[in-house]
Amino acid sequence: MAKKKKSKKKSILITAITIGVLIVVWLVTPGDAAFKQVNTWQRMTSPGALSAAHASLENNCAACHTPVTGAEAANCIACHANDKSLLQNQATSFHANVGSCKECHLEHQGRDQRTLEMDHVALAELGLRQLKSNDPDSESERVRQSFAVLMKHMPDAALPHSRVVREELLLNCTTCHETEDPHVGYFGDNCATCHATNRWNIPEYIHPPAASLDCVQCHKAPPSHYMPMFMSMCAKMLGKSPKSVSQCYVCHMITGWNDMKGAAWHKKSMSHIPSR
Q: Which of the ranges 5-13, 24-32, 145-153, 180-188 carries the binding residues for ligand HEC, by CB under 6 A? A: 180-188
The reply on whether position 225 binds ligand HEC by CB under 6 A is yes
CA distance 93 to 86: 6
Which residue's CB is nearer to ligand HEC, number 122 or number 142?
122
Number of shown-chain residues binding ligand HEC (CB under 6 A) = 111
For 23, phi then psi, to 5°, come to -65, -40
The secondary structure of 161-172, three-state, reads CCCCCHHHHHCC
Q: What is the DSSP string of 40-52?
A: HHHHHH-SSPPPG
Q: Which of the ranges 3-11, 14-22, 67-75, 138-146 carries the binding residues for ligand HEC, by CB under 6 A? A: 67-75
Give the number of other CB atoms < 10 A from CB of residue 207: 9
Residue 196 has, within 13 A of its CA and on its CB side, a CA count of 11
Which residue's CB is nearer to ligand HEC, number 13 or number 90?
90
Could you tell me which residues are beta bridge partners of residue 66? 70
- Of residues 246 through 265, those in contact with ligand HEC by CB under 6 A are 246-252, 254, 256-257
- Of residues 69 through 98, those in contact with ligand HEC by CB under 6 A are 70-71, 73, 75-80, 83, 86, 91-92, 94-95, 98
Whole-number minimum distance, CB 11 to ligand HEC, in Å? Answer: 23
* Interface characters, 47-66, with ligand HEC (x: CB under 6 A): x--xx-xx--xx-xx-xxx-
Whole-number minimum distance, CB 140 to ligand HEC, in Å? Answer: 18
CA distance 224 to 215: 17
What Å distances lie between residue 14 and 1, 25, 212, CA to CA? 20, 16, 78
Give the number of other CB atoms < 10 A from CB of residue 52: 12
- Which of 45, 88, 134, 162 is in the footprint of ligand HEC by CB under 6 A? 45
Whole-number minimum distance, CB 276 to ligand HEC, in Å? Answer: 5
- Of residues 127 through 166, those in contact with ligand HEC by CB under 6 A are none
